[in-house]
Structure 1
Amino acid sequence: MIYDVVIVGGGPAGLMAAIAASEYGASTLLIDKGNKLGRKLEISGGGRCNVTSRLPREEIIRHIPGNGKFLYSAFSVFDNEDIIEFFENLGIRLKEEDHGRMFPESDSAKSVVQALLNHLESLQVQIKTNTPVQTIHFGENYHTIEYSNGNMVKALTVVIAVGGKSVPHTGSTGDGYPWAKKAGHSITPLFPTEVPLVSHEPFIKEKKLQGLSLRDIALTVLDEEKKPLITHKMDMIFTHFGISGPAVLRCSQFAVKQFMKTDKPVLMKIDSLPEESEQELLQRIVRLTRENPKKSIRNLLKGIVPERYLVFLLKKNGLNGEEKGGNLSSEILLTIVRDLKGFVFKVHDSLPIEKAFVTGGGVSVKEIVPNTMASKKMHGLYFCGEILDIHGYTGGFNITAALVTGRIAGMNACFEALSRN
């Protein structure tokens, strides 16, 4: 038997591709090397599954800094609102949380995966789990998928949806890149994104701030001229190896790209009070010292930032914190303010790609037809999901890209197969 469409990879993109291909009438086979489908979906959003975002289309694309603009054509066919409708039609009611994040009302990623599996079953999609693919032989009239055990299956069209290299325990181990190369595609350099960052600064090595969270700070990645590349206002945490937390994850791809470009440490800056200008903060602190000249600087500034961070910044400026506020020169007060508003430190690396939430780089989007996800290099070949060089922030944006590209790829693979039938 020759299938109309064979999808390799049972993550969000592959599941959506299989559903779309089958809904439009293709005989469909879904292959996954793992023992169950949707493993990445099951752990997404802390096990609650952030299926998409309700932000306007422009905002979603802005939250996919890695080639998000490539998705404009796909979004005109199937977008985040269509994803919401799709899940509601499967009986998964969604609720909106902060920043437009959409979760199932059940708060259970498993319920989302189960609904997709039930739908695949109702569409009679053939499924093969525990079936690693060795290679794909591309042919004139059909393509042949060769399994690791030597067995083969033929397909008029193939959709590659095997993910990138991040979160490898879910099955994303970079299997698809050699197959893409074999079909004539170029792979842009792979790198970790949405990943904690490593710093060799003495204060990190000495664990002075380990475990300390800073809330609602502005974290900035600086370029070689010390100009801001990107700033994110969120929370962060100091760790035993460097920094992590939402602001860090969002900034990480910009830091990693700087490492790749310069091969040098990257400067980052923390503004711990982004809602207040340097001048306003200085005036506030000067006023405090005048009103309470005998009070220690540590007590005067208590509550402005977490005490451990305050003591760390005072020590950095040669103070033990017990100095009376009234005795401190305006120069010293200005240096304290400048550190509160812009403490700069070096980051030297990120955790490896296997520890990242998202893979940067992949199959070059220049070689993909944007409104069909078809390969420009090989007939009957489609790509979707994280194997493509598309990467966004966490918050439902990568899953949105996977579901949208999966839908478009499955649908168009089906159309091509049926036209050739």
Structure 2
Amino acid sequence: MEKSYDVIVVGGGTSGMMAAIAAAEAGAKVLMIEKNKRFGKKLLMTGGGRCNVTNNRDVDDLIRHIPGNGKFLHSTFSQFNNFDVMAFFAEQGVALKEEDHGRMFPVTDKSMTIVEALVNRMKTLGVTFAMQTTVQKLLRDDNHITGVETEFENFYAPCVVLTTGGRTYPSTGSTGDGYRLAKKVGHTISPLYATESALLSDEPYIIDKTLQGISLRDIVLRIEDDNGKMVTEHKMDLLFTHFGISGPAALRCSSFVNQLLEKQENVSAVLDCFPDVSEADLLKKLNEALQDTKKNVKNALASFLPERLLTFYLDRLGLTDCPSQQLSQEQVESIRHLFKHFTIKIHKTLPLEKSFVTGGGIHLKEINPKTMESKCLPGLFFAGELIDINGYTGGFNITAAFCTGHSAGVHAAQTASYFSY
């Protein structure tokens, strides 16, 4: 294998493959180094194995769905954005389809379709692969990167793109190598934390699995601090599990939960099962349903909620078998309150290694937002989950990875071209 290249990309995930493609399309001689036997190991897992490639929203809306420093991506998205991602796959012959909330998937419903398209494009462009190879050190002279040292041999290039991923799902190869490599050449690593992670609770009804398996559609989950101030809220689906709550609504709240838990012991997750119905209208609907004197409360309200959740709520109030006509207005209002303000105490999220996305990472003040180049070491570029950016589930993190990878690859190739004269 040759030792000298224009651009070396370290990490063959979403951002790395796109960086290699972009650099090669710009005319660079590219080496891709991957520690696994195959590319895109984590990408294959995304979207339940179907791969949520991107999201069909305008760029401003896209940034709003990347709460972890999304504004940093304005320059990146002005060069290559979600619509360019869609166009790229169309050029590779991969048809995409849109599902709820703008999520884009391959028509095949197989992540492998996306990974194969990326790998085939790298092969077509003549990218050299060094598989099952781990980078142990970045090589540099006084003021510029010169290559990488692996456990087998050294490779040289005037530009290196680090795309080694975060710390989630270490079995895919995301073991934090990039943070260590970047720190050794002077970069600051913002504290890492789990995002897009399920929420854990030790409430008695969670521990005894009373609600396990109950799924709710289009509820609102609101996160409040110790002072009762709302920190964030999301209207999506929710799932009760044996350890707490999961589903899109819970996952989207997780980064805010982890940041709050740095300051307080527990966090309040407030569940509103009827977000589109006002307090007054819900009270009216409850009163109307309870007017049937032939039914007990549980049967009268059977259409409002899944049976187990309704029974749980009414049991908490001691009203399950109470005849409808015997309820006082105060008791009806207590039902309404639980339907719209049920509080679940959260004490932590799943650990980083079992979460979908890593929050924190290489400090953005040390990265040029236009080029993704290091401000500490010229010739070193970053992309993907390694940097301090994180978004919600729904294709936003993958979009950020593809787009920062493309930007890093293009600018690395451009910088490398200066060294060929």
* TM-score, normalization by structure 2: 0.97
Where 1:237 maps in the other structure, the secondary structure is strand
Q: Name the structure 1 match of 2:343.
A: 344
Task: Name the residue aligned to 1:249.
Answer: 251
Report the counterpart of residue 264 of structure 1 in structure 2: 265
Corresponding residue to 1:10 among 4, 7, 12: 12
Q: Which amino acid aligns with 1:308?
A: R
> Residue 30 of structure 2 aligns with which residue?
28
Aligned to 1:284: 285
Letter in 2 for 1:311: T
Give the Cα separation in 2 of the matches to 1:278 and 1:232.
Answer: 18
Match of 1:107 in 2: 109
CA distance in 2, matches of 1:411, 1:361: 25
- CA distance in 2 between counterparts of 1:386 and 1:39 reads 14
Match of 2:299 in 1: 299
8 Å CA contact 1:196–1:350 kept in 2: the answer is yes
1:148-206 Cα shifts (integer Å, max 9, x gaps)? 24x21111111000000012221111111011111211111100111111101111112
* Aligned residue identity for 2:247: G
Q: Which runs of 5+ in 1 are unaligned?
A: none
187-196 vs 47-56, which deviates more?
47-56
Aligned to 1:360: 359
- Equivalence for 1:395: 394
Pairwise CA distance, 1:60? 0.7
Matching residue's letter, 1:417: A
Helix, strand or coil: the match of 2:158? strand
1:147 to 146, 150, 157: 150
Task: Report the Cα distance in structure 2 between the residues aligned to 1:207 and 1:119, rounded to whole angstroms.
Answer: 48
Pairing 1:323–2:337 present: no
Q: CA deviation at 1:144?
A: 3.1
Shift, 1:142, TM fit = 4.3
- Return the letter of the residue paired with 1:88: A
Match of 2:380 in 1: 381
Give 1:419 deviation, angstroms.
1.0
Determine the structure 1 residue equivalent to 2:137.
Answer: 135
**1:142–1:154 CA contact under 8 A, matched in 2:** no
* Distance in 2 separating the partners of 1:239 and 1:148: 43
Distance 2:403 2:141 in 1: 28
Distance 1:124 1:286 in 2: 71
Amino acid at match of 2:340: K
CA contact 1:52–1:399 (8 Å) conserved in 2: yes
Q: Match of 2:274, as an amino acid?
A: L
| Whole-Å separation in 2 of the counterparts to 1:98 and 1:207 | 30
Cα deviation 1:305-336 (Å, max 9, x = unaligned): 111111111111123x1111111111111111
SS in structure 1 at match of 2:335:
helix
Cα deviations by residue, 1:24-69 (Å, 9 ceiling, x for unpaired): 1111100010000111222211222111111111111111110111
Q: 1 CA distance for matches of 2:295 and 2:120?
A: 67
- Once the two structures are TM-superposed, the CA of residue 287 in structure 1 deviates from its matched residue by 2.5
Aligned equivalent of 2:86: 84
The total of aligned residue pairs comes to 417
CA contact (8 A) 1:30 1:125 kept: yes
Equivalent-residue separation in structure 2 for 1:223 and 1:142 (angstroms):
45
Q: Which amino acid aligns with 2:366?
A: E
Contact 1:64 1:393 (8 Å CA) reproduced: yes
The CA distance in 2 between the partners of 1:4 and 1:216, in whole Å, is 50
Worse-superposed segment, 86-95 or 29-38? 86-95
- The aligned runs of 1:302-313 (5 Å cut-off) are 302-313=302-313
- Give the drift of 1:263: 3.6
Moved over 6 A (4+): none
Counterpart of 2:418 in structure 1 is 419
SS in 2 for 1:39: coil
TM-score, normalised relative to structure 1: 0.97
Contact 2:226 2:264 in 1 (8 A): no
* Paired residues of 2:197 and 2:251 also in contact (CA < 8 A): yes
Which ranges of structure 2 fall in alignment gaps of 5 or more residues? Answer: none
Asked if 1 retains the 8 angstrom alpha-carbon contact of 2:145 and 2:378, the reply is no
SS at match of 1:369: coil
Q: Which amino acid aligns with 2:15?
A: A
What's the CA shift string for 1:89-124, capped at 9, x where partnerless?
111122222221111222221122111111111111
Aligned partner (choices 190, 193, 214) of residue 191 of structure 1: 193
Q: 1:294 Cα shift?
A: 3.9
Residue 216 (str. 1) matches residue 218 (str. 2): yes
Structure 1 contact 22–123 (Cα < 8 Å) conserved: yes
Matched position secondary structure for 2:277 = coil
Look up the SS of the partner of 1:340 in the other structure. Answer: helix
Quick check: 1:126 aligned with 2:128? yes
In 2: Cα distance, 1:353 partner to 1:263 partner: 19
In 1, the alpha carbon distance for the partners of 2:159 and 2:256 equals: 36
Whether contact under 8 Å (2:53, 2:395) holds in the other structure is yes
Aligned-residue Cα RMSD (Å) equals 1.2
Q: Distance in 1 between matches of 2:140 and 2:301?
A: 68
